[in-house]
Amino acid sequence: MKRTVSAAIRIVVGLGLVWAVGAAADGAAFPWDRVVGATTSSLTQEQKDRVVALAGTTANYQGCRGTVAECIARDPADPTAARLAGFLVRRVVAGDSDAQIADGVANRRRSARPARVAEIDLFETNCTGPANARVTIVEFGDFQCPFCRAAEPFLERIVASHASDVRLCFKHFPVRSHDRAVPASVAALAAARQGKYWEMHRALFQAADLSDAGLESVARQVGLDLARYRADIADETLREEVETDKLEGQELGVDRTPTFFVNGKQYYGPLTEVEFADRIEEELASSR
């Protein structure tokens, strides 16, 4: 009798699992209202089915142990799973292949849970945002780098939208092939001596001309005392500061610009505002 009851229970449970899988396959049972960072109302049925399938095979890398589908369905929903589900939706809408999405998830995991958290010396580094911010972004960048230039506007928006929680610090990492990167960094540090580092920083990324004359034009534009500026850019101490930043970056494994660290964790995801902002939100949530 006990064996019969036990077998019956197994059959019922098995049927329940089959029903659940079937319901999830068409997206009917998936908690779409819990997805963070993506709009799901305009998804086609084909896209929904693909998101559900991916969520059922993608492991949640922080907090809840299980798949994204399992962890987002729990009460309360796991925050990492909810954000990972949003990532899956964004990548499915973008038309990425399953392999590309798997690589993206792996990069998110590396960014959030690295094998090593970098200790970065921020003493005398130019930062914007509160010193006690819960999230510190450190950029190793180059004023002649087009990718750094493209990232600059959305970095400012991210910091501005989290004024009390996020700060941005810039480390100089002039790439050897950029012949005006070092002089531009020296110019920025000269502006820092006059209390106008970030004004100069922004203006340099917007400048089309980084020649000596162009740099002086930018210095004039941001209101620097030009006599003092000329004296400061001739000071070898500033060039040494640039070299020190680059050496530190190299010791941390930096080999391209821009390279970002979020609370000491190197960022490996796409350099887009949506994905980088999502990483910052994830770090803010985990820091709570």
User: Is residue 56, in this structure, part of any structural domain at all?
Assistant: yes
Looking at the chain, list the stretches that DSSP marks H as alpha helix, in order from N- to C-terminal side: 2-25, 45-57, 68-73, 79-94, 98-112, 146-161, 181-192, 197-206, 212-221, 226-233, 236-251, 273-287
Cβ atoms within 10 Å of 218's Cβ, excluding its own: 23
Domain shared by 59 and 165, yes or no? no
Query: What pLDDT does 288 receive?
Result: 76
CATH value at residue 259: 3.40.30.10
Look up residue 225 and give its two tokens.
């005392």
Judged against a pLDDT cut of 90, whether residue 60 lies above it is answered with: yes
Print the domain residue range for 43.
2-112
CA–CA separation, 111 vs 129, rounded Å? 22
**Number of compact structural domains in the chain:** 2
Phi and psi torsions of 262, nearest 5°: -115, 110
Domain shared by 173 and 253, yes or no? yes
pLDDT band at 28 (very low <50, low <70, confident <90, very high): low
**Residues 204/210, Cβ–Cβ less than 8 Å:** yes
| H or E stretch at 167 | strand 166-172
User: Is residue 118, in this structure, part of any structural domain at all?
Assistant: no
pLDDT in tens, 72-114: 999 999 999 999 999 999 999 999 999 999 999 999 999 999 9
Judged against a pLDDT cut of 70, whether residue 194 lies above it is answered with: yes
User: Is residue 285, in this structure, part of any structural domain at all?
Assistant: no
Q: How many CA atoms lie within 13 A of 109 on its CB side?
A: 13
Domain shared by 81 and 208, yes or no? no
